[in-house]
Amino acid sequence: MTDKTLSKTILPLLSALVATTPLAIDLYLPAFVAISAYFDTNMANVQLSLSSYLAGYAIGMMLFGPLIDQKGRRMFALFGLLGFAVCSFLITVTQSIDTFIALRFAQAFCGSAVTVVVPGIIRYMYQENTAKGMSYVSMIMMLAPLLAPSIGSVLMITWHWHAIFYALAIYAVILFVLAFCFLKEVPIHPSKLKGLALFFSNYRIVLTNYKARFDIVISMLASFAFFCFLTKVSAIYMAHFKVTETEFGILFAFNVLALMLGNFINTRLVPRFGSRKMLNLGLMISFISVSSLIFVSTFAENVYLVAAFIAPLMMSLGIMATNADALILINFKKKSGTATAVIGTLRFGSGALAGPILAFIPLPPSTGFAVAMAIAVTGILVCQLKQIKHGH
């Protein structure tokens, strides 16, 4: 199957599958106040539903990763979509905030089965050009966080916050039909081990792989930097620089588009230069951007300059994360599901640390953000140097 054929058929479907979790998170963010009022509860309980979603997603990935390596991907994708749709519908009829929180956990648990299958399929299709396929999927998938908050606001204003979860249920049903018709199984390499021995064996193989260990840390640090952006972006633009909601939307979209541009550039250059060199390119861009960001945050205090240097930094994160993930997956032909689970769990785990670490840095929002990003980029540099030193 050619790249052109893939881009017209399978890749959009894979992108839509990966987008289930970003949509499930970003669509309902504008509805927090309305949900709080509906259940007559405080905002902290509504925010807890986001934490429960992230927990359900991480636990689901850890469970489903080894299972898809053992049983295949198509079955779990269909199961996850069906469960996601059912949970989304049940959320619309619940009358309890506790049940709402529990259903968000279950919704994420099912959603993890959908997204964990995708990287292994891409790895099988693209082989040594895995980073190219990953970039295509990431680039299309980035439309979800870019558009979801606005779509969520329109759905809520048009009817009620329930409309957001009806939309998620319909989205999952449509994907179920498409996946049933077009998603084909890729070869698997099942282990003879069963039960807990299978899980321990698979995770031991991934976590002790000498070639992949530094790339796993690079992927985690790049994800941590991205979650720092998500955690701090509103504080930087709205609380610190006092921009309007409209201006915030424009600046946020500008930064997300830069992230998409990084993935687009990667699709064009990675077949020629390879993932390791593209990771070096992303690292170079990130160092220039973060150094400039620290300078303008400290001395210039201009929102447009800050946004201008956050943009190439986000672009570099897209390049580095995608290539690090591809380099990891290339090492695990037989355990790509488990490797994806490790990547995803560390990604969300590092994201959970972003808020506390940023809060610990006693600096203004933009400067503190820049320092946190510099720490992450420096960590990536150290890992990359060690990877190159060992000849991988």
**Whether residue 175 is found in the same domain as residue 206:** no
Give how many domains the chain has, as a whole number. 2
Residue 130 reports pLDDT greater than 50: yes
Specify if 75 maps to a domain.
yes
Q: What is the DSSP secondary-structure string of 37-103?
A: HHTT--HHHHHHHHHHHHHHHHHHHHHHHHHHHHH-SHHHHHHHHHHHHHHHHHHHH---HHHHHHH
Instruction: Give the per-residue pLDDT at 169.
Output: 97
User: How confident is the model at residue 162, as a pLDDT?
Assistant: 93
| Whether residues 217 and 308 fall in one domain | yes
pLDDT value at 3 more than 60: no
333 and 384 co-located in one domain? yes
Question: Does 112 fall in a domain?
Answer: yes
**Count of H helices and E strands in the chain?**
18, 0
- Please indicate, yes or no, if residue 384 is contained in any of the structural domains: yes
| Residue range(s) defining the domain that contains residue 245 | 202-391
Specify whether 215 is located in the same domain as 182.
no
Q: Per-residue confidence at 114, pLDDT binned at 50, 70, 90? A: very high
Cα 313 from Cα 310, distance rounded (Å) = 5
User: Greater confidence, 194 or 281?
Assistant: 281
Q: Please choose, from the candidates 324, 327, 68, 79, the residue with its C-alpha nearest in 3D space to the C-alpha of residue 202.
A: 68
Q: Per-residue pLDDT tens for 142-199?
A: 677 667 777 877 887 778 899 999 999 999 999 999 999 988 888 777 777 777 788 8
Relative orientation angle of helices 143-158 and 130-141, to the nearest 10 degrees: 20
- Is the same domain home to 105 and 49? yes
* Domain-terminating residue out of 159, 190, 221: 190
Which carries the bigger pLDDT value, residue 323 or residue 120?
323
Average pLDDT of the chain is 85
Q: Which of 165, 190, 215 is the last residue of a domain?
A: 190
Tell whether 60 and 123 lie within a shared domain.
yes
- The b/e string for 265-289 (b: 16+ C-beta within 10 A; e otherwise) is bbbebbeeebbbebbbbbbebbbeb
Distance CA 371, CA 150 (A): 30
Tens of pLDDT, residues 31-53 = 877 888 899 988 778 878 887 88
Residue 376 lies in a domain: yes
**Amino acid occupying residue 74:** R
Domain membership of residue 195 (yes or no) is: no
Helix (H) or strand (E) holding 135: helix 130-141
Beta carbons of 374 and 294 less than 8 angstroms apart: yes
Least confident of 92-96, 243-247, 272-276: 243-247
Residue carrying structure tokens 């709205």: 238
Predicted pLDDT at 392? 55
Asked if the structure places residue 345 within a domain, the reply is yes
Q: Taking residues 349-359, what's their average pLDDT?
A: 76
Distance CA 277, CA 279 (A): 5
pLDDT average, residue stretch 298-322: 90
Give the mean pLDDT of 210-239: 85
**Would you say 354 and 224 are in contact if contact means Cβ atoms under 8 Å apart?**
yes
Does one domain contain both 180 and 308? no
Q: Is residue 219 part of a domain?
A: yes
pLDDT confidence of residue 2: 45
Contact (CB, 8 A) for 144 and 22: yes
Other C-beta atoms lying within 10 Å of the C-beta of residue 390: 11
Handedness of CA 170, 174, 177, 179 (dihedral sign): negative
| pLDDT one-digit tens code per residue, 55-73 | 888 889 888 988 888 888 8
Q: Tell whether the model's pLDDT for residue 226 goes beyond 60.
A: yes
Could you tell me if 130 and 207 lie in one domain? Answer: no
Identify whether 95 is part of a domain. yes
Question: Over the range 345-360, which residues count as b (16 or more CB within 10 Å of their CB) and which as e?
Answer: bbbbebbeebeebbee
Residues 288 and 336 both lie in one domain: yes
- Considering the domain architecture, whether residues 281 and 183 belong to the same structural domain is answered as no
Task: Give residue-wise pLDDT tens across range 241-269.
Answer: 888 867 877 888 888 889 888 888 988 89
CATH code for the domain in which residue 217 is found: 1.20.1250.20
Using the predicted structure, report yes or no on whether residue 1 has a pLDDT greater than 80: no
Contact (Cβ atoms closer than 8 angstroms) between residue 289 and residue 316: yes
Question: Do 183 and 282 lie in a common domain?
Answer: no
Domain termination site, one of 190, 218, 240 = 190
Q: What does the pLDDT read at residue 307?
A: 92
Residues 182 and 226 in one domain: no
